[in-house]
Amino acid sequence: MKGRSRTSKTYVSNDVLFTPPEIFELLAIEFDLDVCAPTGGLDWIPAKKSIDETEDGLATEWKGKVWMNPPYSNVTPWMDKWLKHKNGFCLVPFSAAKWSVKLWDSEATGVLMDQTTIKFITPDLTRQAIFMPVGLWAIGETNITALKDSGIGKLR
C-alpha cells in the first residue's frame, strides 16, 4: 500500500495508492502490522493490525513483522523508522534521494519490479501504474528468505 499517513504535513492525495493483492499472494506470509493503512485496512493485506490515517504511523511503536508502503511524497522519515525497526517489507520507488542511497547501503535486500508489472489499486478499486519503477525490499533473515522464495523478480 502506498502511504496513508494523513497526519503528515506533506500528505498529498495522489499518495493514496494501494499495493495490489498479487504481491501478498506471492509473498505468502502474514504481517503483524501494516503501518500505512487506510481506515479499516484492506481485506487483501495479511496484517494482524493496521495503523490507519487516524493514527500517526511514525509516532506509533512498531512491533513484529511490518508491511510499509509509505507516502511517496515523504519517504525519508518512514524509511528511517523501517531501517531502525529491521523486521519487514517495504515497497518504495527507486530514487536518487538520500533515503534511497541509505536503503541501498543497508542490510535490506530488494527486488526490482518493472513499473509495467505493478499496477497499484486506487481508492475506487481501479488499477493505476505510476511513472517510476518501484522496489520491494525485505529486512530481517526470515523476510529476506520469503522474498527470495516469492519469485516476484530479480533479487539484488
Which pTM value belongs to this model?
Answer: 0.86
pLDDT over 90 for what percent of the chain? Answer: 59
Inter-residue contact 114 to 89 (CB < 8 Å): no
Are 102 and 79 in contact, with CB atoms under 8 Å apart? Answer: yes
Quote the cell numbers at residue 143: 523476510
CA distance 43 to 109: 27
Residue 123 has a pLDDT of: 87
Percent over 70 (pLDDT), the chain:
89
| CATH of 13-155 among 2.30.30, 3.30.70, 3.40.720, 3.40.50 | 3.40.50
CB atoms within 10 A of CB 136: 24
* pLDDT tens-digit series, residues 47-72: 999 998 789 899 999 999 999 999 98
**d(C-alpha 3, C-alpha 38), whole Å:** 9
Residues 67-76 pLDDT 10s:
999 998 899 9
